[in-house]
Amino acid sequence: MELTALQIIWFVLIIVLWIGYVTLEGFGFGAAMNLHGLAKDEKDRRLILNTIGPHWDGNEVFLLTAGGATFAAFPEWYATMFSGMYLALVVVLLLLIVRISAIEWRGKIDSAKWRNAWDNLHFGASWLVSILWGVAFANFVQGMTIEIGKYENGAFQASDKADISGALADGAQHFLTGGFFSLLTPFTILGGIAVALLFFNHGTLWLALKTAGDFHKRALKQAKTTGLISTAVTAIWAIWGQLAYHVNWYSWIPLLLAAVLLICSALLALKENEKGAFFVHSAALAVAVIFIFLTLGANAIKSTIDPAYHLTLAQASATGPTHTVMLIAAIIFVPIVLVYTVWSYLVFAQRISRENIPDTFVGLDLHEIRKFEKVNY
């Protein structure tokens, strides 16, 4: 079945939304990964958090919009993916909640133990959620144990591969029949590691770009190493994916372009050009997202069991009128979101240093709160 122009447009728009999330929230996760290691004391940790403080909530909008757009434009893609990855996505949601709580609640109480506990949770959640996103993206490239059929009396009955159209017309659906652990393979685990390292490097470059003084020098020094390591691991994973799981030749184009951009970013970091390195790395992440989605071909999800069970974009698609109404809304509101996003980054474009971090804390006294004394509501 040929794809319509509106189906292609919405597939491209979903890719664009994922590019926004990965490139923008990627440095947020990566910055938090440096709460231990690069950060030497309390002031360093507060400096790190202040670089992402004005932006993290706006960056999350891209994730919410990508999920909403998938639900509306390709409902069966959304249903198959979210039901098949249910446990993993619940863990991702919990980790994102922990991360948000760590950012918002850390400074509410004037207690070193309180702040350290939230920093530890923030650090761990950022690493884990990055790995899980990498595993999810790698499953797009590899494919999943998808079959077409029905559940009868609690047992799955696969449809005849020779008559998929008839089975779908008769009410059969796509299901992930392999379970949660089928999502974990050597390839997908390596993908999780690769994405985590890319985010780690992205966050380190962001900190080098946004800070001044001794912290800036240490971040730039670290970026020289993280850039080389993340590029090497990503190259192994991407070439493995292209050779083993591609469905078309043209996914080589973004793969090679991403490789060139990652190498250029690493070289710029070695030359201590953190601004160039960060923006080139952002472009590399954007092209890497394109590579991941192009490996799908005309599919929403590939089946590792049999190509006949692939969930195609045409099968997953909503109706033409739905796409039209959504496109009108996107034309109106997406430019507004993009303009606001750019404006917010321009407003907070200045570098900050340890000197900008006050020595005193504004959090409440934990013991006074427990006694319900000296608390201003």
CA distance to 43, 87, 101, 220, 273, per residue, from 366 (Å): 21, 36, 17, 37, 44
Tell me the mean pLDDT in the region 246-258.
91
Q: In what order do the strands lie in the sheet with 173-176?
A: 155-158, 146-152, 173-176
Alpha-helical (H) ranges within the chain are: 5-32, 42-52, 56-73, 75-84, 86-105, 112-142, 164-169, 186-210, 213-245, 252-270, 274-294, 313-316, 320-347, 366-370
Lowest mean pLDDT among 107-111, 281-285, 348-352: 107-111
**In the predicted structure, residue 194 carries a pLDDT above the cut 90:** yes
For the stretch 26-79, pLDDT in tens is: 999 999 999 998 999 999 999 999 999 889 888 999 999 999 999 999 999 999
For the stretch 101-110, pLDDT in tens is: 999 999 888 8
Q: Tell me the pLDDT band of 247, cut-offs 50, 70 and 90.
A: confident
For the stretch 145-166, pLDDT in tens is: 999 998 887 788 888 888 888 8
The H or E element that residue 302 is part of is none
Tell me the mean pLDDT in the region 113-137.
96
Is residue 200 within 8 Å of residue 230, measured between CB atoms? yes
Tell me the mean pLDDT in the region 278-304.
95
CA 266 and chain centroid, separation: 21
Helix H, strand E, coil C: the string for 154-176 is: CEEEECCHHHHHHHHHCCCEEEE
Is residue 361 within 8 Å of residue 107, measured between CB atoms? yes
Which amino acid makes up residue 368? E
The predicted pLDDT at position 50 comes to 93
Lowest mean pLDDT among 22-31, 59-68, 313-322, 355-364: 355-364
The predicted pLDDT at position 376 comes to 55
Q: What is the mean pLDDT of the chain?
A: 92
**In the predicted structure, residue 118 carries a pLDDT above the cut 80:** yes
- Burial class of residue 165 (count of CB atoms within 10 Å of its CB; 0-12, 13-18, 19+): exposed
pTM metric for this prediction: 0.93
365 or 298, higher pLDDT: 298
**In the predicted structure, residue 368 carries a pLDDT above the cut 90:** no
CB-side neighbour CA atoms (13 Å) of 372: 0
